[in-house]
Amino acid sequence: MPLRRNSRLLTLTGMLAVCLLGSSATGHGQNKKLTTAEAKDHIGEKATVCGSVASTRYAATTRGKPTFLNLDKPYPSQVFTVLIWGENRAKFGPPEDQYRGKQICVTGTITEYRKAPEIVVSDPQSIEVQK
């Protein structure tokens, strides 16, 4: 009888290992890669959103001194926004020049501001310029 119990345990352990390996191989637990249009359906999730920087703005006189990178359509019709607060701005160089007109992917938690999706970034490694 002990052999039968051990073989059952081994079978269950093997099945669990296959399930875990299968889920990591299919991308569960990794960042989702989304278009800017898809981002609105993923508020609260960590993901990578890719799009073209259509307009930029450094609001130097606004509280928090935000820099906005508007993707796929220029403000006020932007599809998605990347927000860099003034306290982190120096890490990026001048982001409004650095990223303007470029295709980028940004990784972080998607939030919503005035019914539009955005990701707030504080580290340049969160933004990848596409070739």
Region 58-87 average pLDDT: 98
- As a whole number of angstroms, the distance between CA 92 and CA 70 comes to 16
Residue 64 per-residue DSSP state: T
- As a whole number of angstroms, the distance between CA 85 and CA 59 comes to 10
Question: What kind of fold does domain 32-129 have according to CATH?
Answer: OB fold (Dihydrolipoamide Acetyltransferase, E2P) (2.40.50)
pTM: predicted TM-score of the whole model, two decimal places? 0.77
Task: Output the pLDDT for position 2.
Answer: 54
**Could you report the per-residue pLDDT of 19-49, keeping only the tens digit for each?**
333 333 334 446 789 999 999 999 999 999 9
**Could you report the per-residue pLDDT of 81-107, keeping only the tens digit for each?**
999 999 999 999 999 999 999 999 999
Token digits of residue 16: 């669990």
User: What residue ranges do the domains of the chain occupy?
Assistant: 1-30, 32-129
111: which strand partners? 118
Report the share of the chain in percent with pLDDT over 90.
Answer: 75
Distance of CA 62 to the CA centre of its chain: 25
